[in-house]
Amino acid sequence: MRYPVRKAAHIFERVGLAMAGASCGLFVGAYVGSAIPVLTTQGFLLLMMVLGGIGFYLGIDTPQLPFDDAHSQIDAAEFMSSAGTLLATLTAFVSVFVIVLRIDPHMLWTWLVLAGWLAGVVMQIVAGAKARMRK
């Protein structure tokens, strides 16, 4: 009985993480899309949400290397996952901040948010895939 409950809890956690990533992607897409007219499409919003969902699903809960003398080096997948999560959530936070306070930052900041978001979720996806391939 314990195993199915743990498995269900893990699935709930991962789906929740994917939904959080998709929400972050929605905020980034809304901010960037409202500032850059070419990106004001439903497809762009959907792409940002899908990337966020995949990134947060794969990248946040990565399997860690065992900690012993043989594996005493830095775990690249874990570090990349952490850095990608920080970058993606930071850009989502900035996006919500800009939307809620209705400020109009310089266009450079908008491009930096987009680049930061894409870099963060790509780092999460790559780190999550790398960590799962080494099992």
Per-residue pLDDT tens digits for 23-79: 999 999 999 999 999 999 999 999 999 999 999 998 887 777 766 666 667 778 888
pLDDT score of 135: 60
Domain that holds residue 122: 2-133
Total domains in the fold of the chain = 1
| Alpha-carbon span 19 to 84, nearest angstrom | 17
Per-residue pLDDT tens digits for 66-95: 666 666 677 788 889 999 999 999 999 999
Cα-based torsion angle of the residue sequence 36, 37, 43, 49 in order, rounded to the nearest 10 degrees: 30
pLDDT score of 78: 87
Within 13 Å and on the Cβ side, how many CA atoms surround 22? 11
pLDDT over 70 (residue 97): yes
pTM of the shown model: 0.85
